[in-house]
Structure 1
Amino acid sequence: MEMHSYDGIKRVLLKLENSINNGYYYEAHQIYRTLYFRYLGQKKYLELIQLLYSGSLRLLQCGQHTSGADLGILLIDVLKKSEIEPSQTYFQKIVDLFSLMTPSSPERQTFVQKAVRWSTIGSIFKTGHPNFHQKLAQVYWHEKNYTSARQHFLYTKDGSGCALMLIELHQQQGYSNEMDLFITQTVLQYLCLKNKSTADEAFKSFINKHPKIKGGPPFLLPLLNFSFFLLKTIESGQVTIFTILCEQYLSSLTKDPSFLQYIDKIGQLFFNIQPRQNSNRGLLNSFLQSFFDGLEDENNENRTMNTLTSHLISDFD
């Protein structure tokens, strides 16, 4: 009985090979799906994974994007059903297929969403494994899809790679006086994800490798100084310095409406600052009040700023 079944599979595989070689891709796709159900019923997961990977790869390479993506989606389903733990080997196989799929296709989006969810299995990374996100970010970056690349970089530990992507993005799409906005947003978002080490790496790589940034600290652009001091202040854990720092750079932080929301969250995560009662604005209200109070005496504000800068530099040198 087993020999008969083996001979049957062998004949189907031979027919599959002939279909692909002769360009009968629809027929080949249907054969792959037939084998999928047969192998799945027999719980031959490893054989099925290899079959679906090679099938998806071949169809995608032949320009059969919908059929190839369909087999790729089935592959992710099998990885989940088989309870195979995520690994670098499978991450690479998935990215191999992902990079060949049509960027704008809904099948590709379904594929990557399922793959990211699968990458969380057996790990503490509930938003997807950092190594997998890093590989996806590189593909999006290569495609010049900076928005998606940046989103995936935020869930990695690759601060240096993220910084290089941001530098390229700024040089191609940003204004010269906006470079501090690019990196500050990323630093704040990494910190909101409690990924301080990657925030630090991204900032250092950005200021060291951006051709328009010469020297520092101090830097010419205020938000670069803010990011530098913020990272140092988090290391020190000094809530008073954190509060003063945010107050003094408030006018620069309001360039992006989201920055103050990030600051509010960072205050809660790293300095145990509670949001204000009866307000969802948290630190924002405090910062605004302090800012407007400070406007009453511009000279006093300048003196305070100089004192703060001197104090921080002496503390963190």
Structure 2
Amino acid sequence: MELRKNQQLEKLEKRVQDGNYYEAQQMYKTINSRYMAAKKYAESIDLLQSGAVMQLKHGQVTCGTELGVLLIDTYNTAKVPCDTISIDRIRAIFNEFPRASNFSQEKVDIAADSKATEKTITAKTHVEGCMAFLKAALKWSIEAGGPHRGAPELHDMLADYVWTQSPVPEMYKASQYFVRGSHPETFAKAVVQWMHQCYPGEADLVVARAVLLYLSLGNLRDANLLWDAVKQSLSDSSKEFPDTPLMHFIRFLLSTLERDALPLFRILRQKYKPSIDRDPTFDEYMDEIGERFYGLQRRNGGMQGMLSDFIKMFATDS
């Protein structure tokens, strides 16, 4: 039986190698339907992982994404737990999504082009496919016993691909995943890159937004790690860290949240109101931070902006 299964996979892989992508895709789906009907979930998982990897190796992102999502559907049907083995299968597929070398350095040139180039369209297709696959995986991880925000490893994968492969900077989109992942130092590298790509005079807004996102989730540790890593990175490259009232506020806020200092929190918010008001979302972040760290009741009404969307991300995206 094992020999027959291996021979079957070899035939399918040969069709892909010969360029018969659509024919192979239909065969993968037909065989998978038979496995699912017979409740042969292990065979289905092996087939779909192999097929997704093979299609992606040959640049067939639409086909690879479809098989990857079918793999997640099988995880759900078979009630596969969120563990190292199941995550590693997802990672094996993720690793085969196409990557443009030095793409992050080319973002500015591509964005400046008034006409949508073929390269831009291709890159957007790749990002959309990878996001569709990993978002399905995130939803499965939540329902399969993983963390309530989804497996951090999957957030790390999403953040990495959106950051490095999007044809134009996707700061907010990538940040959603960075802050739910487990690598604040990598997030800091993205923040430094975005500081160089933003409008003049807004580099401090990029840093503040990243720190406040962590704090809005109650994650003071990673907020501090990111803050220190950004400062260190700029120092190593002989670049100056922004010396603005907003950066002074963030530094004082990080220190204040280390202790039970609600009066100081309120004083900081009042004193640095002009800096906080530079971005309409910052006031909403501060409401969330006050609730998480000091139990303050959130104010009714007000703007339902990006933070609300961020907090509700899994109610919509997943």
- Bin the TM-score by the shorter chain: 0.7 to 0.9
* SS at 1:258 equivalent: helix
Match of 2:162 among 121, 132, 140: 140
Distance 1:157 1:11 in 2: 40
Match of 2:214 among 187, 190, 208: 190
User: Relative to structure 1, is the Cα distance of residues 281 and 78 closer, same or farther in structure 2, using a 3 angstrom cutoff?
Assistant: same
Equivalent pairs, count = 271
Match of 1:213 among 240, 262, 267: 240
Q: Residues 9 and 47 of structure 2 are in contact (CA less than 8 Å); yes or no, is this contact kept in structure 1?
A: no
Distance 2:253 2:7 in 1: 66
Match of 1:152 among 163, 174, 177: 177
Q: Residues 12 and 31 of structure 1 are in contact (CA less than 8 Å); yes or no, is this contact kept in structure 2?
A: no
Give 1:244 shift. 0.6
Hey, what does 2:124 align to over in structure 1?
104
Deviation sequence 1:263-296 (CA, Å, 0-9, x none):
12211221122245xx4249xxxxxxxxxxxxxx
Q: Residues 162 and 174 of structure 2 are in contact (CA less than 8 Å); yes or no, is this contact kept in structure 1?
A: yes
Match of 2:70 among 67, 74, 95: 74
Match of 2:205 among 181, 204, 207: 181
Match of 2:301 among 280, 286, 297: 280
Match of 2:142 among 104, 120, 140: 120
Unaligned runs of 5+ in 1: 283-317
User: Relative to structure 1, is the Cα distance of residues 273 and 34 closer, same or farther in structure 2, using a 3 angstrom cutoff?
Assistant: same
**Paired AA for residue 203 in structure 1:** W
Task: Report 1 or 2 for greater relative contact order, CA contacts < 8 Å, sequence distance ≥ 6.
Answer: 2
Hey, what does 1:163 align to over in structure 2?
188
2:273 matches 1:250: yes
Give 1:62 shift. 2.0
* SS at 1:237 equivalent: coil
**Paired AA for residue 188 in structure 2:** A
Match of 1:129 among 124, 143, 151: 151
* SS at 1:74 equivalent: helix
**Paired AA for residue 266 in structure 2:** T
Give 1:96 shift. 4.3
Q: Percent identity at matched positions?
A: 32
TM-score (norm 1): 0.76
Deviation sequence 1:62-89 (CA, Å, 0-9, x none):
2333222211111111112222222344
Distance 1:90 1:156 in 2: 18
Give 1:116 shift. 1.3
Distance 2:233 2:6 in 1: 56
2:227 matches 1:200: no
Quote the RMSD (CA, aligned, Å): 2.7
**Paired AA for residue 49 in structure 1:** I
* SS at 2:202 equivalent: helix
Hey, what does 1:286 align to over in structure 2?
none
Hey, what does 2:247 align to over in structure 1?
224
Match of 2:33 among 5, 13, 37: 37
Give 1:180 shift. 1.8
Match of 1:235 among 255, 258, 261: 258
User: Relative to structure 1, is the Cα distance of residues 141 and 251 closer, same or farther in structure 2, using a 3 angstrom cutoff?
Assistant: same
**Paired AA for residue 262 in structure 1:** Y
**Paired AA for residue 232 in structure 2:** N
**Paired AA for residue 280 in structure 1:** G
Distance 1:11 1:49 in 2: 16
Distance 1:90 1:111 in 2: 14
Distance 2:296 2:51 in 1: 54
**Paired AA for residue 180 in structure 1:** D
User: Relative to structure 1, is the Cα distance of residues 8 and 262 closer, same or farther in structure 2, using a 3 angstrom cutoff?
Assistant: closer
User: Relative to structure 1, is the Cα distance of residues 124 and 232 closer, same or farther in structure 2, using a 3 angstrom cutoff?
Assistant: farther
Which is greater in Rg?
Answer: 1
Q: Residues 134 and 154 of structure 2 are in contact (CA less than 8 Å); yes or no, is this contact kept in structure 1?
A: no
List aligned pairs for 1:22-61, cutoff 5 A. Answer: 22-61=18-57
Q: Residues 146 and 169 of structure 1 are in contact (CA less than 8 Å); yes or no, is this contact kept in structure 2?
A: no
Deviation sequence 1:158-206 (CA, Å, 0-9, x none):
221111110011113342x322211111111111112121112111211
Give 1:259 shift. 0.7
Hey, what does 2:87 align to over in structure 1?
91
**Paired AA for residue 124 in structure 2:** S
